[in-house]
Amino acid sequence: MEHPSDSMPNGPINIGSTHFLALPRPDILTGPPPGTVDTTTLAAHDFDVDTRTGFMPPQAPLRRLPVDWEPWEEVLDDAVGRKLQLGDGLDLDEGEKIKSEVWRKTVRKLPILPITELKKSEVLLRRAHHVLGWIMHFYIHSLPPRTPIRIPPPLTLPLLQVSAQLQLPPVLTYSDDVLYNWYIPNSDEIIPTHTSPLRCQTLFTSTKDEAEFYLVSARIELRGVDALELMRITMDEAFVGDDIAARRITTYLRDLAGVIRDLAGILSSVKGGCDPDVFYRDVRPWFRGEDSISSSSSGEEEKRKWVFEGMEMDESLTEPTELSGPSAGQSSLIHALDAFLGVDRYSHSKELTGSFPSTTSTQTSSKSAFLQRMQLYMPRHHRAFLTHLSNNPRPLREVVLSLTRSGEHPGLMEAYNESVRALKEFRDLHMVIVALYIVGPAKRARERERERAAAVGEGGEEGEGTRRRPLKGTGGTDLVKFLKGVRDQTQGTLLPLPGAPS
């Protein structure tokens, strides 16, 4: 397949040595010196949030690393081309096992490539993280059950080094699957929108089901651009805080509710292109993290530690502690909506909502801790954006309360609640999707396993325990319990309208 970039010049574009894009990439820990532009990306000074595409890059992500790192690209192409199968598949034949091991041997024989030149470009580092992360997940999840998971040095060293530069965990993330995993074929269109004919760069299964799963999230991100703009102009008006500002904020919040409902419509569209059983059986297992539980061919569930071999060859490397798989909880857009509306900060606060504190405050703290941990899996500029948004000296919730305290602008409080309700409805729908794509298929898979065990005279108490064990998300959470908690937390953010029963 021809890449859209194939028609572009092979050599670097010549720019002047004093041009800001020609300046060295700032150190990842200290950042750019005072008075120096952050050149890691074109939009880094705006938290890498583009006014046209939001958290998505305004141009298609790099589709291939330069020739020095071609061995990585070739190994990834080979994995996709071989159509490798999951190692814990019940119907995996000997030929598939041999094919997978032949491929894994090529990974172990890779040269250990330096990343020195990659450090000069955020775009190159992103592509490297994408390629190496995908190779690692192919490697791990094609292994037979009960086989120790040992990631070989040719993969360990560059992946951990690249991840350190990007301040990301050495594992596939939402940004690898969604933000930096798209292109627009046969089109001169440069700036994508949520209606653009997006395609995926990399897939585990080469199925339309997997592609649609990622692309629905990409469309949500692109439709969310309007939500980010409405947040911006709302905060501008909040600093003014007069009657005109109150009327404008009312309009903006009603518009925001409409955008959030559009996001829900896009989320619902996944049902038209992604089959639930194909997703659960063939796609989802590929992006499990270390904290996910996999099933062996005998039906037993197991959790295996990921061992990164060769770390002693680079004293700067540390043992990875964050190895959860990609999940919707890593979407900066949804976190931004929560921060803007005050879902985490104000939910169940009696002083601000008139409702009594939650009786499950420990659970709420646990959910907040998980969502904060998921921010570690986001591009670092996006994390900085969320921190900036959360530290707003005039939070929207307080502005709404202040402007409506004397009974003025009743429509403002209603508009705020309309946005919160729209977000709660989005989470209601998310739970429906989870039930359709994970809970239902998991139940059917357990039923089939019990039938198989009964047919061969197995079963018993262990099977019952497996049936009762809560479902885990790819982020490592008790999935249904977590989603219900976040949904209820959103509901608890609603402001009590004057005259309404407390």
Annotated binding site: 430
Quick one: CA dihedral 127, 327, 475, 54, positive or negative? positive
Phi-psi region of 35 (alpha: psi -120 to 50; beta: other; left: phi over 0): left
d(CA 120, CA 40): 8
In degrees and rounded to multiples of 5, residue 294 shows phi and psi of -110, 160
Cβ contact 107:154 at 8 Å: yes
**Strand 294-295 with 149-151, pairing:** unpaired
**Strand 306-308 with 149-151, pairing:** parallel
DSSP codes of every residue in 249-275: HHHHHHHHHHHHHHHHHHHHGGGGT--
Q: List CB contacts of 219: < 8 A, sequence separation 6 or more.
A: 194, 198, 266, 269
Q: What tokens does 209 get? A: 């089901």
Cite the annotated binding site for heme b by residue number. Answer: 430
d(CA 328, CA 374): 9
DSSP codes of every residue in 386-426: HHHHHT-SS-HHHHHHHHHTTS--HHHHHHHHHHHHHHHHH
